[in-house]
A and B are shown apart, each in its own frame.
Chain A
Amino acid sequence: GDSVTQMEGPVTLSEEAFLTINCTYTATGYPSLFWYVQYPGEGLQLLLKATKADDKGSNKGFEATYRKETTSFHLEKGSVQVSDSAVYFCALSPTSSGGSNYKLTFGKGTLLTVNP
């Protein structure tokens, strides 16, 4: 079945440091890929997405590129802020299925703490 493996946390960085959170996936066909962010006590918010190979998703200074050859979708940010402290989830969704269930399969999440 589909699966997502992401970098174990926690990750602790100083403000303005460079961030990379690795994500690799296993899926049939060509899934859509997502990064979601979860702040304490809240639900998940979509951070960015990519729907086909070589697409780059970007939002709020975060970027991730859909790499079919390495089945990866690593999250990067050039300069993190304290407000970026949260749990980050990589996820995939099938783009075609027997029915119409585009359910998300998530990684375990990576806790990021940014210190001032």
Chain B
Amino acid sequence: KAGVTQTPRYLIKTRGQQVTLSCSPISGHRSVSWYQQTPGQGLQFLFEYFSETQRNKGNFPGRFSGRQFSNSRSEMNVSTLELGDSALYLCASSYQRQGGNEQFFGPGTRLTVL
């Protein structure tokens, strides 16, 4: 079974621009979560989508948004980029069967904001 895939793997943007990142979950997984990883703040939860609905949200500003499609693929968008948005953005998928919430991560998208 193929793992979680994320595109693109690397992105360079300038301040003020917006960016869209894509995530394809493991086949059959219906939950997709997004995390931001930085050296200073570590791994932080952004939001989770399940069946095209945002089910959980972390403490990030409204510039960070996401969506999930009917095939469970997900995108996250960051508008009005700031230098501090430079990070590794990780997507994780989960089957969400009863009693199980193992999350499997993709390789991430490395975003650099100049």
A and B physically associate: no
Chain A contact residues, CB within 8 Å of chain B: none
